[in-house]
A and B are shown apart, each in its own frame.
Chain A
Amino acid sequence: MMDFLTVNAGYVVLACALLIWAGIAAYLWRVERRVNELEQRLSR
């Protein structure tokens, strides 16, 4: 396992960075949708 991580360190870093960004992007998307819903509800 350690050998795999050492040999493919670049890909491991890339995968971790993409995973973190996917989490942030999903969170932003969700907040955007929630804010939209709240704005529409308050406008009624």
Chain B
Amino acid sequence: MKFAIMLGATLFGILLGFVPGITRSRPVWWRWIAILSVTATVVLGLYPPIAGTVTDAVMAARMDSTKVVPVLVVRQIDPSNDSSLTVVDARDPRVVIHVDASEDVAAAIDATDAPFILDLQRSGSDMRFMAQKMGPVDPLITLPYIMGLEERARIIFFHVPMSWVATIAYLLSMIFAVRYLRSRDLNHDTISMATASVGTLYAVLATVTGAVWAKFNWGSIWNWDPRETSIFLLLLVYAAYFLLRSSIEEPQRRARLSAAYSIVAFVTVPFLIFVLPRLLPGLHPGSSDDVNAGPLLSPKSDAINTTKQVVFGLSLFAFTVVFFWLVNLKVRLVGLTDRINDNEVRS
């Protein structure tokens, strides 16, 4: 199901990108879809509170006894003992725990019958917790708690789609390079260049967002992790592509050599993106020493949370559509520059 959502969202984004033609003006409805899908991604990626289960709180306490975990719970009224504060895991009603809380928090818990988020710290046993703070009451949607990532897990909705779309961009650049070599139509060369340049912008943004995140999660902005090294090499490969283009004046010769280079450059993409980072031990999910396949592909409950998959699918779609909008503008601006230059030459 999760693969269907991700694949479907990406393919739908690509299909919409080619409507009404990659070089044609974007209709108003198309632009609104792009704007609203990114807005929805930002809101759904950053607004929903993170809430785990009691099991998450127990597991986190085994790693670090002082760990505080937000858990979605429901107050349980115990008729046998009115003074006891017991709550039930909202996702697994079989799990009932006892909670010690300050007077303020206890009063707030007593005042609500709806599910709410409670910041819990294990205290003594797996059945007894200290409530540090009461979070949102009756949240519409929540995102899963991932041990070790917590709030930082939200990067998945921005950093990962940018990397995916950069890969798609380099694939499209190669496809249009092949089409140019077959047809010698300079429009195909322009599209190949535009997809590569917007793809490189996405790769740079993925690198920057990853570096900022790494500073807070891994302690430094750059760790020469295999995936960081591979994206650095990929950026160098495509920087050479733009250097090559800028060094040749004659359009057909520039297009021919750039197309050949784009095809060769793309050969490195699957190796640098999918193979190398999985062969070597590293910090990124999916490295050879990672026991899971990564937070997104992991069979664990945190990865198959429907909300997360839907928001991730939406972000893939949104970033793909915006990519096509940027490519479209780039292609049309190059076309306009060429037409203005032609007019100047004629006059």
Hey, which bits of chain A sit against chain B, CB under 8 A? 10, 13-14, 17-18, 21, 25, 28-29, 31-32, 35-36, 38-39, 42
Contacts and interface: CB of A to CB of B under 8 A. Distances in A.
Interface string B305-342: 00000000000000000000110010011001001100
Given A18-B39, A32-B26, A35-B333, A13 B31 contact: no
B161 to A, nearest CB: 14
A3 to B, nearest CB: 14
B123 to A, nearest CB: 24
A38 B46 CA distance: 38
Interface residues of B, number: 21
B47 interface: yes
B38 interface: yes
Contact of B31 (A17, A29, A38, A42): A29
A11 to B, nearest CB: 8
Contact of A18 (B42, B325, B326, B336): B42
B42 A17 contact: yes
B46 A10 contact: yes
A28 B329 contact: yes
Nearest to A14: B46
Given A18-B39, A21-B39, A25-B35, 7 more contacts: A14-B42, A14-B47, A17-B42, A18-B43, A25-B38, A32-B329, A39-B332
